Chain A
Amino acid sequence: MSVITAIKLKKRTSRWSELVRRLEHGDVIFRLLTLAAGMLVILAAIGIGFELWQNSARPRAEFGFDFLVGTNWDPVIEDFGALPFLYGTLQTSLFSLLIAVPIGLGIAIFLTELAPDWLLQPVGFVVELLAAVPSVIFGLWGLFVFVPVVVKPFAQFLNGTLGWLPIFEGPVFGPSRLAATLILSIMVLPTLVAISRDVFLAIPPSQREGALGLGATRWEMITQNLIPYGLSGILGAVILALGRAMGETIAVTMVIGNNLDLSASLLHPGYTMASLIANEFTEATTDMYREALILIGFVLFGLTLLVNIIARLLVWRVARRIPTESRA
């Protein structure tokens, strides 16, 4: 017997005993357990898409891609189109970002660049608490307080001064896409603030010193150095907030007025995909009706998934880029 086979033999037995030892210690079982739990998480993510797809076969067969552009939603004659809801979702979420992004960035800038130490914790805490307020309470407050006290007078003002613009066309309603937009802009603030604050904090102080040392004002430093530096991270925050706004359900359902409407006006009541599902799902008596709602859910899922993937990639890119740059 050669030396080599002897070594091989020994190796084999040692590998075997290693396996036995590991089994005895429970590591293998534990590893399998963690693997299984991890797989469950992946499975859940895939399962959601799969279930929504599986359970919306009828309307997909019936309407095909026309579902996305159909403007009618009539359960009685089973004619279903998603356009008014797509429109409502996109309009309210995009306009809410228009309001929330400057404010959110302003807060993040205030927190990272301006606030004295003792203010950091309290303001940060308030933003976190804002994130914790349940959606239904935003809705309740919106319905009984915010809409009559703020939104309606504001809508009347907009209609009075800028009524010639299609988006501020009358007549003025209380519950409206404007109401949803404003509520959403409050609700997405925490997401925006939390992420863009982290982005600003990750920018090396040497960048700030460089700019200020050249005689830039603080504001010039912020707009010409910090924001370009963290742009992809900030964009990620914005898009993530967009995802939040598109999927927000209960608060929007309570203040948007729930009305099929394809006019440009923000002041009219509207409907979003999420609020449609919330309103009608339990009333859906036929399979076709229910599956049409699930298909709406699938469209919403697809949209938020897309938005989230884009946002995560952007945020990840920033996280990866920062260490390489500080090496320079």
Chain B
Amino acid sequence: MQSSLLSVTQNDQRLNYRRRQAVNQVMLGLCGVAALIAILPLAWILLYVVQRGYGSLNLDFFTQLPTPVGVAGGGVFNAIVGSAMVVGLACLMAIPVSLIAAFYVYERPNTLLGTLIRFSTDVLSGVPSIIMGIFAYTVIVLTQGHFSALSGGFALAIIMTPIALRTTEEMLKLVPKTLREGSLALGAADWRTLLQVMLPAAISGVITGIMLGVARVAGEAAPMLFTAFGNPFFSAALDQPIATLPHQVYVYAISPYKDWQDKAWATALVLIALVLSLEVVARGVTSWQQRKLRGR
């Protein structure tokens, strides 16, 4: 054997060795602890919301209007309808645009315009939701002169678009190329191929993308503050202020009254159940869809 350059005494090496092994053990252990830390707040939040909110839940809570401070009972019927309306409006605006734009990005990913659309999508997904609220405010509320369900829907639509666009594009990319080529080779027009072959193949993925988008925007309170604005009464009009669930949670939570704070927990329970079940279903469908497409 040649002379060793690796120096140092046997003892030094053994010490160095032990230190390295110890560092390894400790740090890897800490990584495991980090994973536990991720689980802790989620579990805590879920358990607490259920525990605090469950008591106030009853049929009335889903069918009645909010009561003033000190008056027992009442519900968040208006906020449920309001959330449905605002989110529905957002879907009406965001889904067609993001689907069709996703086709463009899918077909021409490397053109200047394709890159620009992708880049804009990334920019939009990074803009704070409160800024979307201001945007909707200046574009709709200022021009109309009053808060409205429409402006709330508009703000949420812009938040939703990048999510739906991105997932749709990803799902289209997962569809085997042969499927598309097969259709084109039969002489089908591009748009027929996309709509009648590609979209059906990717549809469950696209739907989950939309569901994820809905889950995300249904929980948004910040942009509602000065667009939908909130409304203690029932309204289903597009051009009137309207209550939404997340905004209602906020209003109840920061009020100084104990009974409203209790209602905040109950409303939060309704909201989180809605959002998380959308999320769970969407994630489940996504992984199923990906398995199906990749397995082919």
Contact = CB atoms under 8 A, between A and B. Distances in A.
Interface of A: 25-27, 29-31, 33-38, 40-42, 44-48, 51-52, 54-55, 102-107, 109-111, 113-115, 123, 125-130, 132-141, 143-145, 186, 189, 193, 217-220, 240, 243-244, 246-250, 254, 274, 277-278, 281-282, 294, 297, 300-301, 304-305, 307-309, 311-312
Interface string B199-234: 000000000000000011011111001100100000
B261 A106 contact: no
B120 A44 contact: yes
Contact of A297 (B104, B130, B268): B130
Given A37-B96, A132-B279, A103 B37 contact: yes
Interface in B255-278: 261, 264-265, 268, 271-272, 275-276
Contacts of B176: none
Interface stretch (B25-33, B55-63, B66-74): B25-33
Interface in B61-99: 96-99
15 contacts: A25-B189, A38-B105, A41-B165, A44-B124, A52-B134, A54-B138, A110-B35, A114-B32, A115-B35, A129-B280, A130-B41, A133-B276, A134-B246, A247-B126, A247-B130
Nearest to B279: A132
A-B pairs with the 8 shortest C-beta distances?
A: A247-B128, A134-B219, A106-B34, A30-B191, A308-B126, A25-B189, A37-B100, A34-B104
Interface centre among B113, B132, B225 (most CB of A within 10 A): B225
Contacts of B32: 110, 114
B265 A140 contact: yes
B253 A282 contact: no
B50 to A, nearest CB: 12
A135 B101 contact: no
Interface in B231-254: 246-247, 249-250, 253-254
Contacts of B96: 37
A139 B135 CA distance: 24
Contacts, number: 264
A282 B101 contact: no
Instruction: Tell me what chain B mostly uses at the interface: helix, strand, loop, or mixed.
Output: helix
B123 A305 contact: yes
Nearest to A30: B191
Contact of A107 (B31, B119, B226): B31
B28 A114 contact: yes
A111 B35 contact: yes
Contact of B272 (A33, A137, A309): A137
A189 B45 contact: no
Nearest to A111: B35
Given A123-B35, A127-B38, A278 B21 contact: no
A137 B134 contact: no
B253 A140 contact: yes
B158 interface: yes
Instruction: Tell me what chain A mostly uses at the interface: helix, strand, loop, or mixed.
Output: helix
B190 A129 contact: no
B156 interface: no
B296 interface: no
A21 B103 CA distance: 21
Contacts of A139: 250, 253
Interface of B: 20-21, 23-24, 27-28, 30-35, 37-39, 41-42, 44-45, 48-49, 96-101, 103-105, 107, 113-114, 116-117, 119-124, 126-132, 134-135, 137-139, 142, 158, 161-162, 165, 189-192, 194, 215-216, 218-222, 225-226, 229, 246-247, 249-250, 253-254, 261, 264-265, 268, 271-272, 275-276, 279-280, 283
A136 B225 contact: no
A279 to B, nearest CB: 9
Given A42-B120, A130-B42, A135 B219 contact: yes
Interface centre among A48, A123, A143 (most CB of B within 10 A): A48
A109 B135 contact: no
B189 A27 contact: yes
Nearest to A55: B138
A282 B23 contact: no
Contacts of A294: 134, 138
Nearest to A35: B104
A103 B23 CA distance: 17
Contacts of B218: 134
A38 B120 CA distance: 9
B271 A301 contact: no
Given A27-B189, A44-B161, A247-B131, A132 B124 contact: no
B268 A51 contact: no
Contacts of A249: 128-130, 222
A104 B191 CA distance: 43
B105 to A, nearest CB: 7
Contacts of B41: 130, 186
Given A27-B189, A115-B35, 12 more contacts: A26-B192, A38-B105, A38-B113, A48-B132, A54-B138, A123-B39, A134-B272, A137-B49, A137-B268, A246-B128, A308-B126, A312-B119
